[in-house]
Structure 1
Amino acid sequence: MTWFVDYKLDSTISVADRGLAYGDGVFETILATPKALVQLDDHLSRLYRGLSKLGMPFSLEQKIKLKDFLASRVRPLIHEKTVVKLIVSRGEGGRGYLAPEHCIHTVIIGILAAPDYQYHQNKGVSLSVSPVPAGCNRYLAGIKHLNRLENVVAKRFLSSADFEALMLNNQQELVECIQSNVFWFWRGTLYTPALHKAGVQGTFRKAIIEQQSRHLIQVGRYFISDLLKADEVFIANSLMGIVPVKSVAGRSFPIGSHTRKLQLLMHDKEMHGSH
């Protein structure tokens, strides 16, 4: 692992950093290949959107500095498929929850080994339903902030037999999985839950919605009963790509042709250096 803190080779931050004390910041996990940081513009767009939502926006100069650093210092270090972790906190200052009027961001960039999801992409995975609810907060919904305790606790409840778990909100609506977004095909239409009340608006979710053109897409309010009548189910994020689901809470699903074709489409776009 290689870490940069505030654009210098380092792996330490201040114990007074608000990211540590309050989770006061945002992060991105970016798939990187020797050709490109995949979907970089979408990741940076979500990062900047989250920073603005939290009241600590990046200036144009900061945006240029970050992108230049990724191109000049990080990209040359990538010689195989890897992961670039990008964390931005509000830095130090303020009193208790009260944030400083003018923050000095802490910018953390890590280069990490990429997990191998090829077996899961080929063979499919099983899902359970998490007992941990996804909290609804319209103000924070969609952004990838550093407060991820729901996901941490949900991961603890995940049994070894299941790869992922579906997370529901307090109205029993489908939101997402612990670390991925969920989709399903039913009668040729592609469905995925709306994320305006809870969840993370995944960059790969966005890419699927925008780049596939074979199917009508419905984004809305759905329940477990809607998913269980599906013809095919899959999960997706920017690291794992599209992973077919072969069972949900004991209900079996085939790995169908719609999922396989979409897998190939998105993989081809990745291999051609999607930024």
Structure 2
Amino acid sequence: MTWFVNYRLDNSVSVADRGLAYGDGVFETIRALPHSLLQTEDHLSRLFRGLSKLAMPFSIDQQNTLKSFLNFQVLPLINEESVVKIIVTRGEGGRGYLAPENCIQSIVIGILPAPNYKVHQEKGVSLSVSPVPVSSNRFLAGIKHLNRLENVIAKRFLMPFDFEAIMLNADKELVECIQSNLFWYKQGVLYTPSLEKTGVQGTYRKAIIEQQAEYIVQVGRYLLSDLMAADEVFITNSLMGIVPVVGVTGMSFPIGCHTRKLQILMQAKDMHGTH
């Protein structure tokens, strides 16, 4: 693993950093191939949007500095499939929860080994339903902030034979899985939960909704019963791509033709860098 802190080769941050004290920041994980960082624009757009939402926006110069560093310093170090992780915190300062008026962000960038999802993509995975609900907060909805305790606790409840768990909100509506977004097919129409009030608006989810024209996509508020009536189910994130679901709480689902077709379509887009 290789780490940079504020664009210098380093692996430590201050103990007074607000990211450590309060989770005061955002992060992104980007799938990296030799000569290519996939979906970079979508990842950075969400990163910058999150920073603005937390009232510590990047200036245009800061945005350009980060993009340049990724392209000319990080990318040349990628010689196999990897993960590039970007963490931006508010840095030090302030009194208690009160943030400093003018922050100097801490920028942490890591190059990490990529997990291998090939078997999951081919054979499918099983899901359970997490007992941990997802909180709804319009001030935090959609962004990848550093406060991930709900996901940490949900992961602790995950049974060894289940790959992921579906997370519901307080109204028992579908939101997402612990580390992925949720999709299903019903009569050839593609469905996915709305993430306007809660959850993480995944970059791969965005790509599926915006970049494929094969299927009508319905985004809305759905219950577990809607999912259980599906013809095909799959989960996604930017590292795993599309992973079919073959079971939800003991009920079996086929790996259908629509999921396979979309898998092939999106993999082709990955290889050609269209994200």
With normalisation by structure 1, the TM-score equals: 0.99
1:207-253 Cα shifts (integer Å, max 9, x gaps): 00011111111000000000000000000000000000000011110
Work out whether residues 202 and 237 of structure 1, in 8 Å CA contact, stay in contact via their aligned partners in 2: yes
Determine the structure 2 residue equivalent to 1:125: 125
- Give 1:274 shift: 3.3
Contact 1:19 1:89 in 2 (8 A): yes
AA at the equivalent of 1:76: P
In structure 2, the residue matched to 1:227 is 227
What secondary structure, in the 3-state scheme, does the structure 1 residue paired with 2:236 have?
strand
After superposition, the C-alpha distances for 1:137-180 in whole angstroms (9 at most, x for unaligned) are 11100000000000000000000010000000010000000000
Identify the residue that residue 58 of structure 1 maps to in structure 2.
58
Supply the distance in 2 between the matched residues of 1:40 and 1:56 (Cα, whole angstroms): 21
**Structure 2 CA distance, aligned partners of 1:269 and 1:197?**
29
User: Paired residues, what number?
Assistant: 275
Q: Distance in 1 between matches of 2:156 and 2:200?
A: 20
Percent of aligned positions with the same letter in both sequences? 71
Distance 2:108 2:220 in 1: 35
Deviation string 1:90-126 (CA, Å, 9 cap, x unpaired) is 0000000000000000000000000000000000000
- How many Å separate the matches in 2 of 1:155 and 1:188? 32
Answer yes or no: is the 8 Å Cα contact 1:246–1:252 preserved in 2. Answer: yes
Kindly state the Cα deviation for residue 273 of structure 1 after the two structures are TM-superposed: 2.1
SS in 2 for 1:207: helix
- Amino acid aligned to 1:101: E
In the TM superposition, structure 1's runs of 4+ consecutive aligned residues that sit over 4 Å from their partners are none
Corresponding residue of 1:92: 92
Between the aligned partners of 1:23 and 1:177, the Cα distance in structure 2 is 21
Query: Does the CA-based 8 Å contact 2:35-2:76 persist in structure 1?
Result: no
Note the C-alpha offset of 1:35: 2.7
Matches within 5 A, 1:119-198: 119-198=119-198
Distance in 2, matches of 1:141 and 1:29, equals 18
8 A contact 1:35–1:273 mirrored in 2: no
> CA contact under 8 A between 1:25 and 1:87: conserved in structure 2?
yes
- Match in the other structure for 1:78: 78
Structure-2 residue corresponding to 1:266: 266
Q: Aligned letter for 1:181? A: N
Whether 1:202 and 2:183 are equivalent positions in the alignment is no
Cα-to-partner distance string for 1:24-48 (whole Å, 9 max, x where unaligned): 0000000000131100000000000
Deviation at 1:197, TM superposition (A): 1.2
The letter of the residue matching 2:177 is C
* 2:230 counterpart letter in structure 1: A
Q: Counterparts of 2:120 and 2:16 in 1: how far apart (Å)?
A: 40
Distance, in Å, in 1 between the alignment partners of 2:216 and 2:166 is 23
Q: Are the equivalent residues in 2 in contact too, given 1:7–1:69 (CA < 8 A)?
A: yes
Unpaired runs of at least 5, structure 2:
none
Counterpart secondary structure, 1:142 = coil
CA distance in 2, matches of 1:95, 1:274: 45
1:240 corresponds in structure 2 to 240
Q: What's 1:33 paired with?
A: 33
Residues 247 and 253, structure 1, Cα contact 8 Å, conserved in 2: yes
**Counterpart of 1:260 in structure 2: which amino acid?**
R
CA distance in 2, matches of 1:212, 1:65: 32
Query: Tell me, which stretches of 5 or more residues in structure 1 are unaligned?
Result: none
Superposition RMSD on alpha carbons, in Å?
Answer: 0.5
